[in-house]
Amino acid sequence: MNRKIAVLPGDGIGPEVIDEAVKVLKSIASAYDQKFSFEYGLVGAAAMDKTGDPFPLETENLCKKSHAILFGAIGDPKYDNNPAAKVRPEQGLLRMRSTLGLFANVRPIKSYPPLFDKSPLKNDRIKNVDFVVYRELTGGIYFGEPRGRTEDDQRAYDTCVYSREEIARIAVMAFEAAQNRKGKVTLVDKANVLATSRLWREEVKKISKEYPEVNLEFMFVDNAAMKVITQPSHFDVVLTENMFGDILTDEASVIAGSLGLLPSASIGHHSKLFEPIHGSYPEVAGLNKANPLAAILSAAFMLELALDAPGEANLIREAVVKSMSEGIVTEDIDPGSKHGTSDVGDFISGYIASKNVDELTSGTII
Ligand code: IPM
Ligand code: MG
Tens of pLDDT along 196-254? 999 999 999 999 999 999 999 999 999 999 999 999 999 999 999 999 999 999 999 98
Ligand 1 pocket check for 11: Cβ under 6 Å:
no
The arithmetic mean of pLDDT across residues 25-42, rounded, is 96
pLDDT at residue 224, rounded to an integer: 98
What's the whole-model pTM score?
0.94
Q: In the sheet that 263-267 helps form, which strands lie side by side, from edge to edge?
A: 35-40, 2-10, 68-73, 272-276, 263-267, 104-110, 130-136, 237-240, 184-189, 215-220
Which atom number of ligand 1 is nearest to the Cα of residue 243?
Answer: 11
Q: Which ligand is nearest to the CA of 142?
A: 1
How far is the C-alpha of 32 from the C-alpha of 331, rounded, in Å? Answer: 32
Neighbours of ion ligand 2 (CB under 5 A): 246
β-pair type (104-110, 263-267) = antiparallel
- Specify which residues 135 forms β-bridges with: 105, 240
Q: Which ligand is nearest to the CA of 45?
A: 1
pLDDT at residue 364, rounded to an integer: 44
SS (H, E, C) 295-330: HHHHHHHHHHHCCCCHHHHHHHHHHHHHHHHCCCCC
**How far apart are the CA of 363 and the centre of ligand 2, in A?**
35
Ligand 1 pocket check for 73: Cβ under 6 Å:
no
The arithmetic mean of pLDDT across residues 357-363, rounded, is 56
Peptide bond into 263 cis (omega under 30): no
Ligand 1 pocket check for 90: Cβ under 6 Å:
yes
The model's confidence at residue 80, banded by pLDDT at 50, 70 and 90, is confident
The model's confidence at residue 366, banded by pLDDT at 50, 70 and 90, is very low
Ligand 1 pocket check for 136: Cβ under 6 Å:
no
Residues with Cβ within 8 Å of residue 259, at least 6 apart in sequence: 250, 253, 277, 278, 294, 332
Per-residue pLDDT reduced to its tens digit, 284-301 = 999 999 999 999 999 999
HSE of 240 in the Cβ direction (CA atoms, 13 Å)?
Answer: 27
Residues with Cβ within 8 Å of residue 89, at least 6 apart in sequence: 11, 44, 45, 48, 54, 74, 75, 76, 79
**How far apart are the CA of 317 and the centre of ligand 1, in A?**
25
Determine the 3-state secondary structure of 185 from DSSP. strand
pLDDT at residue 310, rounded to an integer: 95
Active site residues: 142, 190, 222, 246, 250
Residues with Cβ within 8 Å of residue 17, at least 6 apart in sequence: 72, 73, 276, 290, 291, 292, 294, 295, 296, 341
Which atom number of ligand 1 is nearest to the Cα of residue 250?
Answer: 10
Give me the torsion for CA of 315, 318, 319, 324, rounded to 10°: 170
pLDDT at residue 13, rounded to an integer: 98
Candidates 141, 131, 117, 140; CA nearest to 224 is: 131
Mean pLDDT is highest, among 56-60, 81-85, 355-359, for: 56-60
Ligand 1 pocket check for 346: Cβ under 6 Å:
no
Using most ligand atoms within 8 A of CB, pick from 76, 80, 93 the residue to mutate for ligand 1.
93
pLDDT of 362 higher than 60: no
Domains along the chain? 1-109+264-366 (3.40.718.10), 120-256 (3.40.718.10)
β-pair type (2-10, 68-73) = parallel
Distance from first CA to last CA of the chain, Å, rounded? 26
For residue 66, what are the CA distances in angstroms to 6, 69, 112?
6, 7, 32
Q: Rounded mean pLDDT of the chain? A: 94
HSE of 257 in the Cβ direction (CA atoms, 13 Å)?
Answer: 23
Which residue owns the Cα nearest ligand 1 atom 11?
246
pLDDT of 69 higher than 70: yes
The arithmetic mean of pLDDT across residues 7-18, rounded, is 98
CB contact at 8 A, 11 and 89: yes
